Amino acid sequence: MSKQDDDSAGSGSPGDAGGSIFDRAKQPVKPSGEPAPGSDVSAGGPELRQGHDDGPERLGTPPHQTDSTRAQSTVLLVEPHERAVDVSPAHAAEIDRRAQRRAERLVAFWFVVSIVGTVGFVVTNFVGDKHAEYYTPFMGVALALAMGGIGFGVILWAKQLMPHEEAVQERHPFRSADEEIAATEETVALGYADTGLARRPLVRRTLLGAGTVLGALLVVPLLNLTNRKPGKQLDHTHWVKGARLVTGEGTPVKIGDIAIGGIETVFPAVPVTEADGTVRYEPQLTMHEKADSATVLIRLGPDENRPRPGRENWAYDGHVAYSKICTHAGCPVSLYETQTHHLLCPCHQSVFDVLDGCRAIFGPASRSLPQLALGVDEDGYFIARDGDYTEPVGPAFWERS
């Protein structure tokens, strides 16, 4: 490498952004190329005079990165008292009063949506029917409106009503200098002024209203603890006296429809008397109605049933009906072994003996399946002769509610 090459590689003033890396390491400069305060160049030292006189530059080996005696070199992005921002072009709301009003109304609209969603959530929680099909979806929609309204409102507020800028702040170790603390306080104050809360009362009031009402969501779970206990509601199902036994499709089950060894899941069809005196049967097939009324209808062979005392006439022509809800954890009991006449629960393998009043003979279940007394109406359809079960269905702890 020639001396001329050495001179060309090391040429350039310390303030030149295109100079060598050694120049910039020895002489801190701003991005604009001006000497940083406190540097030898800004102080008019010999290096400055040498660099400006285009004198020869002496290249040396730079200190090691871990050398603790080396003075820290920094490229200052901003002065502590300056606010370095890159302001983007103004958006419509900053220069057009009508656009600003439209943006304010849009932000306020979403805050009002949040208020409506929160009120709907709270009202539905305490007034709505928790067993109705609309309850859970409506609660979800109301909560989505409550949270989404706040979110959309804040996003639109930031995008359409607040100035758009990119701020660069110098990183500093540990505690900031007093000048930087003062600059931060000034920045926060300017940021608050940029939000426009002081001069936009509509946005301020709707935001405060939405935030206040949204706070009600925090106390709703606590207030739910004060709800009344279910009491004796769990002791009863949708079976009533004279209700027909229908399939999941609503088809009534007639005597002779089930072969010996057969099994059918049935639900109640409640008799309803019309104005002209005729009786129609309304199947109870909603999810809530099926949950407690599911029953298995089994046809046994002649003289196979061994009824318990007092239940001698609960069966009809070899047909017996038991609750399908396991007395252990409420799972559906529907696996029937024709040879052994056992009902198996698929969840925890509890086994019930159908010939012995569906007594629990294996597994975690400790209580027999409740039995439904059967009868047949004048049209040959199976009915609940005495009405509901005489004991609670499902897990045994329901009896202690």
Q: Is the pLDDT of residue 349 over 60?
A: yes
Helices (H), 254-377: 287-293
Residues 6+ apart with CB under 8 A from 194: 162, 163
- Calpha distance 301→233 (Å, rounded): 36
Q: Tokens 């959309």 appear where?
A: 152
Span 248-263, pLDDT tens digits? 899 999 988 999 999 9
**CA angle, corner 166, sides to 163 and 170, nearest 5?**
135
pLDDT number for residue 42: 46
Among 399, 400, 397, 371, which residue's Cα sits nearest to residue 385? Answer: 371
pLDDT number for residue 139: 92
Span 51-81, pLDDT tens digits? 444 455 454 555 555 544 544 444 444 444 4
Q: Is the pLDDT of residue 99 over 50?
A: yes
pLDDT number for residue 27: 56
pLDDT number for residue 263: 93
- Calpha distance 342→349 (Å, rounded): 11
Span 177-234, pLDDT tens digits? 888 889 999 999 888 888 888 888 899 899 999 988 888 888 888 887 777 666 676 7
pLDDT number for residue 12: 44
Q: Is the pLDDT of residue 28 over 70?
A: no
pLDDT number for residue 244: 93
Residues 6+ apart with CB under 8 A from 289: 238, 267, 268
Q: Is the pLDDT of residue 131 over 50?
A: yes
Tokens for 166? 């990119």
Q: What distance separates the 2 farthest-apart alpha carbons in the chain?
A: 123
% of residues, the chain, pLDDT over 90 = 34
Among 76, 60, 81, which residue's Cα sits nearest to residue 15? Answer: 76
How far CA 177 is from CA of 72, 183, 257, in Å, comes to 17, 10, 91
pLDDT number for residue 351: 94
pLDDT number for residue 168: 76
pLDDT number for residue 170: 72
Q: Tokens 């009915």 appear where?
A: 383
What average pLDDT does the chain have? Answer: 79
Q: At 13, is the pLDDT very low, low, confident or very high (cuts 50, 70, 90)? A: very low
Tokens for 386? 């005495």
Q: Is the pLDDT of residue 86 over 60?
A: no
pLDDT number for residue 33: 57
Pairing of strands 263-273, 244-246: antiparallel
CB atoms within 10 A of CB 82: 10
How far CA 165 is from CA of 61, 100, 189, 203, in Å, comes to 42, 18, 16, 22
- Calpha distance 195→162 (Å, rounded): 6
pLDDT number for residue 51: 44
pLDDT number for residue 198: 83
Q: At 117, is the pLDDT very low, low, confident or very high (cuts 50, 70, 90)? A: very high
Among 123, 149, 121, which residue's Cα sits nearest to residue 137? Answer: 121
pLDDT number for residue 30: 57
pLDDT number for residue 80: 47
Question: Would you give the distance in Å from CA 345 to the centre of its chain?
Answer: 33
Q: At 48, is the pLDDT very low, low, confident or very high (cuts 50, 70, 90)? A: very low
pLDDT number for residue 230: 62
Q: At 362, is the pLDDT very low, low, confident or very high (cuts 50, 70, 90)? A: very high
